[in-house]
């Protein structure tokens, strides 16, 4: 019997806490994106990579929403009723839960919207760079390989 880890690996924690059909749909959308671009020219692939660099991932969406709600509930707690501080505390608990286990109440909704993790976005970028031919360089040093991976 395989034990479920209380604290999953950081890079897979959101993936592991997302329902498999949602993960499959996100992966299938990535494959559809790549199939469209596989026969495109280098400039179009470069444009897509730049677009991926601007794509918001699950972490950023959660952080922005939590920060906005914390600011709003703190303001309301100061201006109207101290009861609003309960919302501030609840959001803090949700953020802690997400940081440790990779799940919090808004995450299933965010994933159903198709918001990807940083690793899922980076996987698409790496495949595009492979298709574009970035890794066929003559350089074999670590610096050359790192430059190929980092190439926009």
CA distance 30 to 126: 12
The total of other beta-carbon atoms located within 10 Å of residue 8's CB is 17
Q: For 80-108, what is each residue's pLDDT tens digit?
A: 999 999 999 999 999 999 999 888 999 99
What global pTM score does this model have?
0.84
Q: For 117-142, what is each residue's pLDDT tens digit?
A: 999 999 999 999 888 888 776 666 77
Burial class (CB in 10 A: 0-12, 13-18, 19+), 58: buried
């Amino acid at each position: 019997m395989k034990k479920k880890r209380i604290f999953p690996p950081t890079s897979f924690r959101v993936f592991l806490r997302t329902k498999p059909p949602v993960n499959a749909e996100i992966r299938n959308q990535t494959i559809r994106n790549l199939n469209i671009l596989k026969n495109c020219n280098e400039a179009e692939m470069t444009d897509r990579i730049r677009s991926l660099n601007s794509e918001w991932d699950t972490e950023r969406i959660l952080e922005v929403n939590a920060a906005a709600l914390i600011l709003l509930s703190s303001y309301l707690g100061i201006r109207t009723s101290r009861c609003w501080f309960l919302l501030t505390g609840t959001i803090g608990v949700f953020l802690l839960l997400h940081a440790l286990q990779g799940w919090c109440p808004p995450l299933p909704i965010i994933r159903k919207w198709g918001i990807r993790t940083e690793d899922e976005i980076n996987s698409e970028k790496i495949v595009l760079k492979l298709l574009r031919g970035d890794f066929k360089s003559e350089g074999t040093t670590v610096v050359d390989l790192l430059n190929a991976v980092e190439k926009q």
